[in-house]
Amino acid sequence: GENVEQHPSTLSVQEGDSAVIKCTYSDSASNYFPWYKQELGKRPQLIIDIRSNVGEKKDQRIAVTLNKTAKHFSLHITETQPEDSAVYFCAASSGGSYIPTFGRGTSLIVHP
Amino acid sequence: DTGVSQDPRHKITKRGQNVTFRCDPISEHNRLYWYRQTLGQGPEFLTYFQNEAQLEKSRLLSDRFSAERPKGSFSTLEIQRTEQGDSAMYLCATRQGAKAEQYFGPGTRLTVT
């Protein structure tokens, strides 16, 4: 089955800095890679996703890059703000059922 | 609120009791997923429905767990003879047709004492 590794487990940055979270996956058939943000006590919310036929996708301060050859993908947040503080999960899935395997999460702390 | 809803939000039960959780999807979403999330971990897939058909079940889903979606709308997840290891957040997520984006409910936090 799919295995998704996520690093780092904790990331502490100053407001205005950039943050990068990296994930690797094992199944070369994986073709859909979502990222979720989960604030304390809240539900996971999709913030950005990328499909295997695309190398990069950007949405305002958030971007995701995918390297299929190396089987890794990354989340980039620029100009971080305190409200970006949360746990971020990457995931990978294959096929039409889109059943994801999640990473263990990265706790992002943005200091004002 | 027209998002995914789950009931109850919290459940405390004694070991050995049965519990049932409910998930109500966004109205036009015909795909439904159940996950379990423990502290410090990402959600772990349990089972997947397309309309009323249960198409996938994880090996995590022991025979004490059963899920249904009788009319292709709401779904229930039942855990029989609960164990302390069942303590977790149980999340439901839904999506529409061929779209990949899943929308999560607020979860049901289960505590088994």
A8-22 confidence digits (pLDDT tens):
999 999 999 999 999
CA A101 to chain centre: 12
Closest chain A C-alpha to B110 CA, distance in angstroms: 14
Spans of chain A below 70 pLDDT: none
DSSP state of B72: S
Across chain B, mean pLDDT equals 95
Cβ–Cβ gap A43/B33 under 8 Å: no
Q: Are A44 and A37 in contact (CB under 8 A)?
A: yes
Closest chain A C-alpha to B107 CA, distance in angstroms: 7
Which of A25, A31, A99 is best to mutate for the B interface (most B CBs within 10 A)?
A99
Cβ–Cβ gap A99/B45 under 8 Å: yes
Instruction: List, in sequence order, every beta strand (DSSP E) within chain A.
Output: 4-7, 10-14, 19-25, 32-38, 45-51, 56-59, 62-67, 72-77, 86-92, 101-102, 106-111
pLDDT, tens only, B2-30: 799 999 999 999 999 999 999 999 998 99
Assigned token pair, B47: 């089972």
Residue B1 has pLDDT above 70, yes or no: no
Question: Please, which pLDDT band fits residue B33 given cuts at 50, 70 and 90?
Answer: very high
Cβ-based contacts of B44 with chain A (< 8 Å): 102
Torsion (CA) B27, A40, B100, A76 in degrees, nearest 10: 150
Q: Are A24 and A104 in contact (CB under 8 A)?
A: no
Q: What angle do CA B72, B74, B78 make, to 5 degrees?
A: 110
Cβ-based contacts of A50 with chain B (< 8 Å): none
Residue of A nearest to B6 (CA): A43
**Closest in B40, B55, B104 to A97, CB measured:** B55
Q: Which amino acid is at A3?
A: N
Closest chain A C-alpha to B81 CA, distance in angstroms: 27
Non-local CB neighbours of B68 within 8 Å, separated by 6+ positions: B54, B75, B76, B78
